[in-house]
Structure 1
Amino acid sequence: MRDGGGQTGSPIKGRSLPPGTPKQSPREALPSVSPRFLCAWRPTFVSATMPTRRWAPGTQCITKCEHTRPKPGELAFHKGDVVTILEACESKSWYRAKHHASGQEGLLAAGALREREALSADPKLSLMPWFHGKISGQEAVQQLQPPEDGLFLVRESARHPGDYVLCVSFGRDVIHYRVLHRDGHLTIDEAVCFCNLMDMVEHYSKDKGAICTKLVKPKRKQGTKSAEEELAKAGWLLNLQHLTLGARIGEGEFGVPGGGRAPWEGGAQAHPHSPPAAPRKIQHKNLVRLLGVILHQGLYIVMEHVSKGNLVNFLRTRGRALVSTPQLLQFSLHVAEGMEYLESKKLVHRDLAARNILISEDLVAKVSDFGLAKAERKGLDSSRLPVKWTAPEALKHGKFSSKSDVWSFGVLLWEVFSYGRAPYPKMSLKEVSEAVEKGYRMEPPEGCPGPIHALMGSCWEAEPARRPPFRKLAEKLARELRSAGASAPVGGQDTDSSPSPRGQEP
């Protein structure tokens, strides 16, 4: 239909000195490889730029070139592939790494790698840089000059409010296709329907179908950047074909999490999501790890799978008989350390609660669900908020900060030491907000140690400035854990939960 008259690396050529230089034998330089491998491995020599520092195991890197004909023991890769460092060889210019897409392991030169980049929260990033909003057909024609077959943009329809118009340059003309709403979907010819504009653009970029030509080149709205290009450049854009989606495994306010499997991980969670901004590179042992983003039929955020589920269900299904007080302290310390890291990055979670803490197979608590997370700032915010966990200044004035997260952490401590009970029992949301404003604070749960209830109270100070930072909370919990000693078996298995030094993996 028409709107206003329109139709409805080249390969690596050499290598730096590999393990096996005159100063050390290949056996000394390459730990954990068989003699048979050493006899077969005869790499050529290349010049590789040495990195400014050695990458630790677990570091994610992007390949800077192509190497598709590896020798025995080497890793094959294309430019832009994602790999994870497994170990550094004694010769600093070589690493053993695992390829994300193929799951294969092998050796590669440091000069072929760069560290996976961070993505800053940038308001200019857009999943639809070709969407120009409310502009007229005449303005669209001006934007699509000079003429170029397949140059396109999408705008809102002026004549049919609520509909969209796909504007495509073809020959010397700009053709305007009205995009209709039909039963919750979008369509141009009523033969092919789409869930959203991104799906429509993706489809017509591969098959012209009912329109005059394939969509070849998007005309970006001035001031926007392509989120897809930025994600790909930084190495965070994943291919859906590399992820096997599984069954739905939970509920979310902003997306439905489902299980899955990726060749480079034991498991993953795929979350259809529309984040408030592009993800930053945040990495900590007590935060659920972001693996990447998939742009296909919407947006999927792919995160590591944490096998034992959320903390509320973990505590409710095991109870006091299986979960000791030291283990509760251990979980609380893990959360405090994860939040201490977010606080250091000036990020506010805004939805800190036991339901958003996941427990790994080795009983490490990890903060998850960053659907409400934002860079720290002040100002009104109309997002739907979890009333029982949200600080009074955030509920009343929309003022969020790390101190409002500290308030939520106090409520989380109450959940933990009550073994998963809902906070403010038998009180409605309205009663909770009114009571808290008047100074009401929850009594300690049964069996809760006195110092822990005092810690909750410090989190619930009416004046945000008087609440302790997460660093202080973590220090106090670490002291309590040292006093409590080793825990009893947890969840039906023997677990050593003896206290560990701050900042180390327990």
Structure 2
Amino acid sequence: MSGKHWPPGTQCVTKHDHSKPKPRELAFRKGDMVTIIEAVEGKGWYRARHNETGQEGLLAASALRERGAIRADPKLSLMPWFHGKISGTEAVQELQPPEDGLFLVRESVRHPGDYVLCVSFGKEVIHYRVVHEENTLSIDSQQYFSNLIDMIEEQGAICTKLVKPKPKSGMKSAEEELAKAGWLLNLKHLTLGDRIGQGEFGDVLQGEYLGQRVAVKNIKCDVTAQAFLAETAAMTKVRHKNLVCLLGVILHNGLYIVMEFMSKGNLVNFLRTRGRALVPTQQLLLFALDVAQGMDYLESKKLVHRDLAARNILISEENVAKVSDFGLARVNPKGADATLLPVKWTAPEALKHNKFSSKSDVWSYGILLWETFSFGRAPYPKLALKEVTELLEQGYRMDAPEGCPPTVYALMKSCWELEPGKRPSFKKLTEKLQKELKHLRDI
């Protein structure tokens, strides 16, 4: 055994079939997903739960590989069968040699805004016009779909089953890559519950996956879902107690991103609804430390958050703070639309020159500290956005929130150095907060 130590909860993929298990062993087939429960005394065995059957048993570490990270790759597509603007004649050429159920989708040349589903059947290629109106798609005006992914999944009233997508050359199926790496979850194990939030990209629902409470982000728009693949790829690379954990994705109704459920909601609401009377300074420092540790880990992985703010920090049942929504701002990386930037949280160099780095995250962290110690107040109270940018350049900084320890205010101010190089690293911030907590406990 190659000294692997997988902590409980690690998701692993099986490397081969094991169809005749001995007593207490787990049966599995190549490519199955299992969840590690614990390492077993002795050499190289684990107790694990089979994600599909729910059975528990023993299996050798040598039969497993940990679920791999997915590279964010522009060739990775949720819709590899979408060919964009090609003519009917070109579509017919793409679908050669004929094969029942071979299909692709193209943009309609004759009816801009509509699509065409081209299906090979018999020796012919049949072209179905897909009419796009009021955010829905329909082939026959009987059945309506919210997006192309849905339409292909549900199939609708057409001549034959869509069995074989014809990928656009150079494109790779995100579905296959996700499945191969072990991140594709099974829709039949997901139960959806109430809506617990609404992001600008879609709803967040509460649910259950194989008996575990989860939060599910549903992104219906094709283009946004495609952009979210990058966020998902970023989340497959990271695992830390202070980052919200991605369980996997389901391709249905667009895209479902399945994450651990954080029962106490986001940090702003947590502080606003409880206030000074219920949340002591020590707890505020613990939250601040949690966030700094999660960000230190992201910094070590060379990942920039770009939207660090108390609204993006979630609190677990055990009062652990975890960073969520990393990678979102990358949905529009090329000359990101400045109007969408959270101005009051964004570092001056990021606002002016689109320069995002771990140091611009540190600036945002300073604002988050201010939000935390003011119990969820909005930063720069009474100032308009335009004034904020001008005043910062003139050297203005917010005052300490009421009752904030001077050492913590000094930390905030160090995060707001105009020169990025003068700001502390998240590692340094972590050390200073640990010292402050120790000091508080020794009093």
TM-score relative to the length of structure 2? 0.92
Do residues 400 (structure 1) and 356 (structure 2) align?
A: yes
Residue deviations 1:96-143, cap 9 Å, x none? 012334443222232332211111211111100111111112221222
Higher helix share goes to which structure? 2
Match of 1:154 among 80, 105, 109: 105
Helix, strand or coil: the match of 1:468?
A: coil
Other-structure match for 1:256: 203
Q: Aligned equivalents of 1:399 and 1:276: distance in 2? A: 23
Among residues 238, 245, 248, which one is paired with 2:185 in the alignment?
A: 238
TM-fit CA distance, 1:257: 0.9
Map 1:29-428 onto structure 2 (within 5 A).
Answer: 50-51=1-2, 53-67=4-18, 70=21, 72-204=23-155, 210-263=157-210, 265=212, 267-273=213-219, 274=225, 275=228, 277=230, 278-279=232-233, 280-370=236-326, 372-374=328-330, 380-382=335-337, 384-428=340-384
For the residue of structure 2 that corresponds to 1:256, the secondary structure is strand
How many correspondences in the alignment?
Answer: 432
In structure 2, the partner of 1:503 is none
Classify 1:342/1:374 alpha carbon distance in 2 versus 1 (closer, same or farther; 3 Å): farther
1:501 corresponds to: none
Q: 1:71 to 1:276 in 2, by over 3 A?
A: closer
Corresponding residue for residue 222 of structure 2: none
1:226/1:486 CA distance change after superposition, 3 Å:
farther
1:44 aligned partner: none
CA contact (8 A) 1:67 1:76 kept: yes
SS of 2:203's equivalent?
coil
State the Cα deviation string for residues 52-106 of structure 1 (Å, max 9, x = none): 5243333210123344665553334443222121212223232101233444322
AA at the equivalent of 1:479:
K
3-state DSSP of counterpart to 1:193: coil
Offset of 1:215 from its aligned partner? 1.2
Percent identical residues: 70
Residue 13 of structure 2 aligns with an amino acid whose one-letter code is I
Contact in 2 for aligned 1:380/1:397 (Cα 8 Å): no
Specify the code of the residue in structure 2 equivalent to 1:483.
H
1: CA distance between counterparts of 2:182 and 2:374? Answer: 42
**Residue type matched to 2:412 in 1?**
M
Partner AA of 1:215 in structure 2:
L
How many angstroms does 1:380 deviate by? 2.5
- Cα deviation for residue 439 of structure 1 reads 2.6
Identify unmatched segments of 5+ residues in structure 2: 220-224
- In structure 2, what residue type is equivalent to 1:143? E
Structure 1 CA distance, aligned partners of 2:435 and 2:174? 44
Q: Which moved more, 1:67-76 or 1:270-279?
A: 67-76
CA distance in 2, matches of 1:339, 1:276: 21
d(CA) in 2 for partners of 1:276, 1:54: 29
Alpha-carbon distance between aligned partners in 2 of 1:229 and 1:469, rounded to the nearest angstrom: 39
- Per-residue CA deviations over 1:335-360 (Å, capped at 9, x if unaligned) read 00100111111111111111111111
Alpha-carbon distance in 1 for matches of 2:51, 2:250: 14
Describe the SS at the equivalent of 1:251. strand
Separation in 2, partners of 1:335, 1:242: 32
Q: Hey, what's the Cα distance between the residues in 2 that align with 1:427 and 1:247?
A: 37
1:374 positional shift: 4.3
For 1:281 and 1:136, locate their aligned partners in 2 and report how far apart those are by CA, in whole Å. 40
Q: 1:148 deviation in Å?
A: 2.0
The answer to whether the Cα contact below 8 Å between 1:254 and 1:371 also exists between their aligned partners in 2 is: no
Amino acid paired to 2:98? P
Q: Which runs of 5+ in 1 are unaligned?
A: 1-49, 488-506
Q: CA deviation at 1:389?
A: 0.9
Which letter does structure 2 place at the counterpart of 1:181?
H
CA contact (8 A) 1:378 1:398 kept: no
Give the structure with the higher percent strand: 2
CA distance in 1 between counterparts of 2:267 and 2:353 reads: 30
Q: What is the CA distance between 1:171 and its match in structure 2?
A: 2.9
Does 2:426 correspond to 1:470? yes
| Counterparts of residues 480-499 of structure 1 (less than 5 Å) | 480-485=436-441
Contact 2:86 2:106 in 1 (8 A): yes
Report if the CA contact (8 A) 1:54-1:92 is conserved. no
Cα displacement string for residues 220-250 of structure 1 (whole angstroms, at most 9, x for unaligned residues) = 1122111000000011001121111110111
Could you list the runs of 4 or more consecutive aligned residues of structure 1 that deviate by over 6 angstroms after TM superposition?
none
* Contact 2:304/2:327 (<8 A) preserved: no
SS at match of 1:312: helix
Report SS of the residue matched to 1:220.
coil
1-structure distance, mates of 2:73, 2:43:
35
Please give the alpha-carbon distance, in whole angstroms, between the structure 2 residues aligned to 1:421 and 1:74: 55
Q: How far off is 1:379 after superposition?
A: 6.2
Q: Distance in 1 between the 2:211 and 2:20 partners?
A: 21
Whole-angstrom CA distance in 2 between matches of 1:374 and 1:401:
13
Q: Is the 8 A contact 2:138 2:145 kept in 1?
A: yes
